[in-house]
Structure 1
Amino acid sequence: MSSQEQHTQVKYSEVSPFQISDGFTRNTRMEPVKTIRIFIAAIAANISAFAVGTCLGWTSPMSPKLKAQDPTDSPLDRPITTEEDAWISSLVALGALIAPFVAGPLADRIGRKWVLLSSSVFFVFAYILMMVASEVWILYLGRLIQGFGVGFVMTVQPMYVGEIATDAVRGATGSLMQLFIVSGILYVYAIGPYVSYVALQWCCLAVPIVFDVIFFFMPESPYYYAGKGQKTDALNSLQFLRGQSMDVVQDEMTVIQGEVEEAMANRGTVVDLIRNTGNRKALIISAGLIVFQQLSGINVVLFNSQSIFVSADTGLDPAVAAIIIGAVQVGSSGMTPIIADRLGRKVILLISAFGMAIGLAALGAFFYVQQVVGDASNITWLPVPALVVFNIVYCIGFGPLPWAVLGEMFPANVKSVASSIVASTCWILGFIVTRWYPALDALGSYYAFWLFGIFCVVAFFFTLFVLFETKGLSLQQIQDKLNGKRSN
């Protein structure tokens, strides 16, 4: 073989996106995947995550308005109590833990795209309710309905993004959700303190409408079409997402069709999820990461940023401090899509757990000095950098990556069941933590933050000993690893 022929063969190997099962290559291998199209669809889907962020960050600027003694900028005619504030904060999680059991089956019946689009109905209705609320129970209902929308998005969005991406960019696209969630949080942090109560509801209501307009033009998941026997639609979806000719996407379509047919022939239930060794390992890993994500206390920080800074009495305007934290979250979340497929999930999660423990330990130490020792004047600078460290490492690791891992851990036949269970686990713990944080905080804020820090230490060792690296592995190779098989 001449050196020119060898060079040509190497070039073909480098750009080939697929390997033909019979060992032969085609000239169409020179058509690279246009990953920009995958990112366009993933970004469009993640505008729904931006809407989720507006719900999660809503209480931080709104609680001070609702608790104000002069209710001129509140829909209510009296200040809310601490107990009512706790319910307003936590009811989103309660709605979100119920929704996955509806969203998961619906995703298999009407498609991932239409379930995501339908989530906007909940967001729009909730913001209208909260705009016209005259009683606390209407705010409760609005937050509960917001939770349904959040649950729809958090269940189906990782499924959709995981199925439209190639192996090479799946980590990057999967971690976009956290970036968009924290961008939504920053949106309300930055606007909420400086506009009226009603104006913020209008600003938040616009987000799901924009999402529907943009995402309507994106393709459905090719996996969904393949499962419904709509091969032509699946091929068209792949062509849009890959930017390749029909000949090239036929190769990937064959792989997808095989995976879906196997999944349909072995349609899974909750029993199969528990009984199968690989599925059981995947559930332990995925649910475990989500559990530690919530036990890190992230929802307490998100829902109560302004209140935390008021309690800390740092001398910095609490609204400005919350905006700084929100900006840090956005900046650090933007790093994850860049590094997720370079460093790998496991390394980033280990760094994240360690960093969160340090940040929470420092924050707990500040409140201990303030509330027990009695004079924290020398360390009033500490809460902001402590929360900055916590938020940076959370947003590059335990924020996005548990959802990215969830999207790639399960075979198609149990994916919707598993997603529903894991998402509900997330929100059960989210509800418990946010609902009873005020009671724990009443004993001393340092108790709460040190307890969250201990959970982060446990998360470090869970990641170290239980999670395996999925960087660069195909979905099939991940399944082989979970089931103890040797990949080809």
Structure 2
Amino acid sequence: MATRQHKDIEKGGDNKAHEDLKAPFIDNTSKNVNRSPETDQNGSIKMALLSTAVAVCGSTEFGACVGFSAPAQFAICKELDLSVAEYSLFGSIITIGAMIGAITSGRIADTIGRKRAMALSSVICIGGWLAIFLAMGSVLLDTGRFFTGYGIGIFTFAVPVYIAEIAPKELRGGLTTLNQFMIVTGSSISFLLGTVVSWRTLALFTGLSPCILLLAGLFFIPESPRWLAKEGHKDEFEQALRTLRGPKANISAEAKEIYESILALQALPQTRVSDLFEPEYIKPVFIAVGLMVCQQSGGINGIGFYASETFIFSGLKSGKVGTIAYALIQIPITIVGMVLLDKSGRRILLLISSFGTCLGCFITGTAFFLKDHHIILEWIPFLAVSGVLIFIASFSIGMGAIPWLIMSEIFPLHIKGTAGSLVCIVNWLGAWVVSYSFNFLLNWSPAGTFWLFAGFGVLNIGFVAKLVPETKGKSLEEIQASINS
């Protein structure tokens, strides 16, 4: 019944309601039809960039959280006398918190708005970092790590969705990719500072700074116009859209497009998880969930959380050199991915990324195999580090950012909260499995561990090639209309 109503409205079934919704936005903006395209573009870019810069402070926080465990591992284990199993729990419990945060993230963002969801996440993360800073044993340490995980679980949904909803379609790919770039930046800052400061100082500096910046910045940016329209806040919707597009911009066409989508969605009932498996939604859900499985099955959270240990296993006397190289390579490669995203497209970068992560894991696994059989031992550290660096470079150019970008693009607005939560849960469940088991797998067989990840990389290439659509250069409404066509 709901599906038939949706289709009737899209065909113009309820014209009076349709005109009532459109009229205020067409009337109020028609006087600006003769605006300069250059003025429109400049106004749009300025506010879109500012709003994105504030939002991605949450991404920096995300990176700081996941990057903290690698450089802090040996100092924390020594000071608090933690075993490998206890530190594996500390390293991975962030994913449990993030999983719970993911369950609630969509509903929170849909209920209180994208801005308030990011503010709530920041406050929770601040509390978690303070607990880690003050910890004198594993209980408070794990509690703080859990709460930072819960906070970034909300960020994983709220940040990319907010950026996708406020960005002009020609900038959406690049701006949304800033989410991954700042995750990488936050992680790299943690890796680099962790080599020169104590773990408590690292927790205080890298953990609190992004949250404080985000809370301050939220006062200067608008709420998502699409969320305001969905909630029926017409005046606030127009004001937010004008703020984002510039005071002289003609917003009538975009407002009409958004409201046509909202009008169709209003006829549909509130979604439940079971609704995601209806025929009209199953394909985008399968694509988004599949991409998150691809992202995690390559081993990123095990390799990233315990990079120092991996380098020491390879034969390096200290993991610092490899850790610094790991941190430095992420940022320039992520920038390359951002530049290419709206030029080459999403699918080709995902294919390149999947192949590169597979190759990197295969090289590292081979290095450990040679070490186990005492073959060319002097080359083992070089091969292992090279494989890890190829892996992280390849991950950064595509598989890190693009699954989140596509997730924010392919779901209709009325199921975005429910579907987004499901996708984030899958992502964080995979992150927990990999991050908790990685130390045990490494003790079992370093070569087997990395070859296992390489095998998943081969499967990932097939998934992307067969099922992932190209979304470059399309509006959100165009993507959602075409994905089931």
- The CA deviation at 1:36 is 3.2
Residue number among 57, 61, 64 corresponding to 2:67 in the alignment? 57
CA distance in 2, matches of 1:52, 1:428: 16
| Mapped partners of 1:269, 1:165: distance in 2 | 28
Say yes or no: does 1:141 pair with 2:151: no
What pairs with 1:207-246 in structure 2 (closer than 5 Å)? 207-245=210-248
Match of residue 17 from structure 1: none
1:143-167 CA-partner distances (Å, limit 9, x unpaired): 1111101101001111111100121
Which of the residues 266, 272, 276 maps onto 1:273? 276
Q: Is the 8 A contact 2:54 2:213 kept in 1?
A: no
Matched to 1:215, the amino acid is L
CA distance in 2, matches of 1:344, 1:199: 41
The answer on whether the counterparts of 2:365 and 2:384 sit within 8 Å (CA) in structure 1 is no
Partners of 1:396 and 1:374 in 2: CA distance: 33
Choose from 187, 190, 214 the match for 1:188.
Answer: 190
Write the mapping of 1:42-121 to structure 2, written as runs, cut at 5 A. 42-68=52-78, 71=79, 76=80, 79-121=81-123
**Does residue 415 of the first structure (1) align with residue 423 of the second (2)?**
no
Residue 435 of structure 1 aligns with which residue? Answer: 436
Q: Deviations over 1:263-282 (max 9, x none)?
A: 222143323221133x2110
Query: Is the CA contact (8 Å cut-off) linking 2:60 and 2:185 kept in structure 1?
Result: yes
Give the RMSD, CA atoms, in angstroms: 1.7
Q: Partner residue of 2:162? A: 160
1:27 aligns with 2:18: no
- Partners of 1:103 and 1:155 within 8 A in 2: yes
| Separation in 2, partners of 1:312, 1:215 | 45
C-alpha distance in 2, partners of 1:476/1:227? 14
AA in 2 matched with 1:27: N
Instruction: Work out whether 1:333 is the aligned partner of 2:334.
Output: yes
How many percent of aligned residue pairs carry the same amino acid?
Answer: 29
Task: Tell whether the 8 Å contact from 1:235 to 1:250 is kept in structure 2 after alignment.
Answer: no
Farther-moved stretch of structure 1 (323-332 vs 396-405): 323-332
Task: Indicate if the aligned counterparts of 1:176 and 1:337 stay in contact, CA closer than 8 A.
Answer: yes
Distance change (3 Å), C-alpha of 1:341 and 1:189:
same
**Deviation, structure 1 residue 480:** 2.3
Q: Which residue of 2 aligns with 1:14?
A: none
In 2, the alpha carbon distance for the partners of 1:444 and 1:357 equals 18
Q: How does 1:296-445 map to 2 (within 5 A)?
A: 296-314=298-316, 317-373=318-374, 376-445=377-446
CA shift, 1:244, in A, is 4.2
Equivalent-residue separation in structure 2 for 1:429 and 1:129 (angstroms): 26
**1:221 alignment partner AA:** S
- Residue 60 of structure 2 aligns with an amino acid whose one-letter code is F
Give the letter for the 2:203 counterpart: Q
- Give the letter aligned to residue 72 of structure 2: M
TM-score, normalising length: structure 1: 0.89
Task: Please tell me whether the aligned partners of residues 368 and 380 of structure 2 are also in contact (alpha carbons under 8 angstroms).
Answer: no
CA apart distance, 1:323? 1.6
Q: Which amino acid aligns with 2:132?
A: M
2:260 aligned with 1:258, yes or no?
yes
CA distance in 2, matches of 1:380, 1:131: 34
TM-score (norm 2): 0.90
Task: Give the superposition deviation at 1:27.
Answer: 2.7
Match of 2:209 among 206, 211, 230: 206
CA distance in 2, matches of 1:294, 1:170: 24
Deviation at 1:29, TM superposition (A): 6.6
SS of the residue corresponding to residue 413 of structure 1 reads helix
Paired with 2:372 and 2:125, the residues of 1 have a C-alpha distance of 39
* Native 8 Å contact 1:408 1:475 kept in 2: yes
- What letter corresponds to residue 35 of structure 2 in structure 1? T
The DSSP-based 3-state class of the residue aligned with 1:386 is helix
Does the aligned pair in 2 maintain the 1:117–1:216 contact within 8 Å? Answer: no
How far apart are the structure 1 equivalents of 2:279 and 2:216?
41
1:39 aligns with 2:49: yes
CA contact (8 A) 2:95 2:428 kept: yes
> How far apart, CA to CA, are the structure 1 residues paired with 2:189 and 2:438?
25
Alignment deviations for residues 371-407 of structure 1 (CA, whole Å, 9 cap, x no partner): 2336522343212221221111101100000000001
Q: Distance in 1 between matches of 2:442 and 2:337?
A: 32
What CA distance in whole angstroms lies between the structure 1 residues aligned with 2:40 and 2:130?
46
In the other structure, the counterpart of 2:9 is: none
Aligned counterparts of 2:455 and 2:229: Cα–Cα separation in 1: 45
Q: What is the distance in 1 between the residues matched to 2:67 and 2:380?
A: 27
1:294-344 C-alpha deviation (Å, 9 max, x unpaired)? 0110001111111111111235x4223212111111111112221111000
Q: Secondary structure at the match of 1:382?
A: helix
Structure-1 separation of matches of 2:229 and 2:360: 46
Which residue is 1:483 aligned to?
A: 484
Return the offset for 1:242. 1.2
Q: In 1, are the aligned partners of 2:351 and 2:464 still within 8 Å (CA)? A: yes
Deviations 1:398-443 (A, max 9, x none): 0000000001000001001110000010000110111112221121
> 2:297 — aligned with what?
295
Contact 1:371-1:444 within 8 A present in 2 as well: no
Q: Which amino acid aligns with 1:121?
A: V
Instruction: Give the Cα–Cα distance (whole angstroms) in 1 for the partners of residues 36 and 233 of structure 2.
Output: 25
Would the aligned equivalents of 1:172 and 1:336 in 2 still touch at CA under 8 Å?
no
Give 1:476 shift: 2.1
Question: What are the superposed Cα offsets for residues 192-246 of structure 1, whole Å, 9 maximum, x if unpaired?
Answer: 1211232112212222112211233111000111112111111111112111436
Question: What is the alpha-carbon distance in structure 2 between the residues aligned to residue 199 and residue 439 of structure 1?
Answer: 29
Deviation at 1:26, TM superposition (A): 4.1
Deviation at 1:35, TM superposition (A): 2.0
Moved more, 228-237 or 351-360: 228-237
Letter in 1 for 2:181: L
